[in-house]
Amino acid sequence: MGSAAPLGRGPKVRAAVLAAAVQELSEHGYAAFTIDNVAQRVGVHKTTIYRRWPDRDALIADALADSVAAEIPIPDTGSIEGDLNALARSLVTWISSPSGRAVLAVMLSTAAGQPPPPVSARHAFRDRIRKALPVVTRAVERGELPSGTDPAELIKTLVAPIYFRVLITGEAVDDHTADAAATVAVTAARAGLFG
Amino acid sequence: MGSAAPLGRGPKVRAAVLAAAVQELSEHGYAAFTIDNVAQRVGVHKTTIYRRWPDRDALIADALADSVAAEIPIPDTGSIEGDLNALARSLVTWISSPSGRAVLAVMLSTAAGQPPPPVSARHAFRDRIRKALPVVTRAVERGELPSGTDPAELIKTLVAPIYFRVLITGEAVDDHTADAAATVAVTAARAGLFG
């Protein structure tokens, strides 16, 4: 089955290329990123990569989205507190990891006079916020939060303090940071501030 | 008096050099920043600059701190809502301006594989947070917030959603963003979440 697929075909090569792309970004940054280097790292010919991704920006965008999706799963614990805590803790773990740092570095490279990253890089973040919205709509359906709560406003309030510490003040983030952010977000939501 | 000071001496040249440094950062980025370019822009010899700042990093750090201090004044309106609204609105105005963008670009250039900015660049942000703390301690003294409220936690909760939108989702920020952030921060503080 899957394990019988030769390298160069099937989902295994896709996963291997995406993982190698994140590693390349992590070690050498966005400006130095080439499909040649990724191909060499995976041990495939670069045409194997070009068969699936038309250019480096398409590959980078997929690699970022894949990294975020794999490492920040969307929880469904049955309570809004449980879900927000789990989301915030996954974000803290991811943002402290080499692949999280690599994704952030690409995202922020416009700000430093580097060649601009693909617009689709930002989509990895927006997409992740969008995928987390059901956490809020389920809580509204369960009667835990006021009806009319804006899911995106709540999720942004949840994650903002974590990004802020990593990017601006350079503080360490941990489970305590995550839990405090979750408590602020749920308190504001219960007070009707996202209505 | 001050207006009689020749260029090259007195507070006027200091202000001119700092403003030119922010403009240089804004137009050409951190990596391309040189004291020669700043001197040329101000119309002074570079020794005039070296007399006050030992190297480019010292000049950059001062320029960033000066820009932040000038453009995000610390309010004292008499109420915590008034002060937090004013702080958040100043931040929104500054972060949307060319000098705000320049400061952020320097701050974030480590993330993009550029030469690292001076550690003191981060100090401009930490220092600004520190200077805003009396806004919270005055509110505690007036009985508006629970005693034991951690001022730094409140101020970070206030500003995080603004930085998050600018840096991560790339959304526009405006007075509405500022006011919403202030309401969340004061609600969380009144609920004792920063105690």
A36 located within any domain: yes
A125 domain-assigned: yes
Q: Pick the residue of A114, A153, A168, A194 with the most B CBs within 10 A to test the interface with B by mutation.
A: A168
Q: Is B24 found in the same domain as B78?
A: no
Same domain, A154 and A92: yes
Q: What is the pLDDT of residue B48?
A: 94
Domain's final residue, options A44, A65, A86: A65
- Minimal Cα distance from B126: which residue of A? A169
DSSP A72: S
Same domain, A101 and A47: no
Alpha-carbon distance of B192 to B122, in angstroms, equals 29
B84 with B61, same domain: the answer is no
Q: How far is A10 from chain B (nearest CA, A)?
A: 33
Q: What's the CATH number where B36 sits?
A: 1.10.10.60
Residues of chain A found within 8 Å of residue B114, distances taken between Cβ atoms: 112-114
The predicted pLDDT at position B128 comes to 82
Q: For chain B, what is the domain count?
A: 2
The answer to whether residue B2 scores a pLDDT higher than 80 is: no
Q: In whole angstroms, give the CA distance from residue A170 to residue A179.
A: 19
Same domain, B27 and B98: no
Task: Kindly state whether residue A142 falls inside one of the protein's structural domains.
Answer: yes
Same domain, yes or no, for A17 and A80?
no
In this structure, is residue B1 part of a structural domain?
Answer: no
Same domain, B82 and B135: yes
Rounded Cα gap, residues A167 and A182, in angstroms = 19
Alpha helices in chain B (DSSP H): 10-28, 35-42, 46-50, 56-71, 80-95, 98-108, 119-141, 151-164, 175-190
Same domain? A88 vs A181? yes
Is residue B102 domain-resident?
yes
C-beta atoms of B114 and A111 within 8 A: no
CATH number for the domain including A85? 1.10.357.10
- Mean pLDDT, chain B, integer: 86
Average pLDDT rounded to a whole number, residues B105-119: 58
Looking at residue A109, its pLDDT comes to 63
Going by C-alpha positions, the residue among B62, B45, B66, B44 that lies closest to residue B53 is B62
Higher pLDDT, residue B21 or B107: B21
What are the tens digits of pLDDT across the range B147-171?
Answer: 999 999 999 999 999 999 988 888 8
B128, closest residue in chain A (CA to CA): A169
Chain A residues at the B interface, defined by Cβ less than 8 Å, are 28-32, 101, 104-105, 107-109, 111-114, 122, 125-126, 129, 153, 156-157, 159-161, 163-165, 167-170, 180, 183-184, 187-188, 191, 193
Fill in the amino acid letter for B4: A
Average pLDDT over residues B106-125: 60
Q: Model ipTM?
A: 0.82
As a whole number of angstroms, the distance between CA A80 and CA B163 comes to 25
Tell me, yes or no, whether B59 and B153 share the same domain: no
Give me the pLDDT at residue A1, please. 39
Q: How confident is the model at residue B26 (pLDDT cuts 50, 70, 90)?
A: confident
d(CA A57, CA B18): 38
> Does residue B8 come out as left (phi exceeding 0), alpha (psi in the -120 to 50 range) or beta?
left
Do B124 and B154 share a structural domain?
yes
Residue B121 lies in a domain: yes
Which of A32, A47, A65 is where one domain is finished? A65
Q: Is residue A150 part of a domain?
A: yes
Contact B25, B102 (CB under 8 A): yes
Q: Which residues in chain B have their CB less than 8 angstroms from residue A164's CB?
A: 156, 159-160, 163-164
Residue B126 above 60 pLDDT? yes
Of A39, A65, A91, which closes a domain?
A: A65
List the alpha helices (DSSP H) in A51-193: 56-71, 80-95, 98-108, 119-141, 151-164, 175-190
Residue A5, domain member (yes or no): no
CB contact under 8 A, A31 and B160: no
Structural domain of B79: 74-190
Is residue B56 located within the same domain as residue B87?
no
pLDDT tens digits, chain A, 195 residues: what are they? 334 445 545 778 999 999 999 889 888 877 788 999 999 999 999 999 999 999 988 898 888 888 888 888 899 999 999 999 999 999 999 998 887 877 777 777 654 444 555 556 667 777 788 889 999 999 999 999 999 999 999 999 999 999 999 888 888 999 999 999 999 999 999 999 999
Residues A126, A31 share a domain? no
Q: Is the pTM of this model over 0.80?
A: yes
Contact between B105 and A111 under an 8 Å Cβ cutoff? The reply is yes
Q: Do B122 and A169 touch (CB under 8 A)?
A: yes
Higher pLDDT: A154 or B126? It is A154
Of A32, A108, A183, the CB nearest to B167: A108
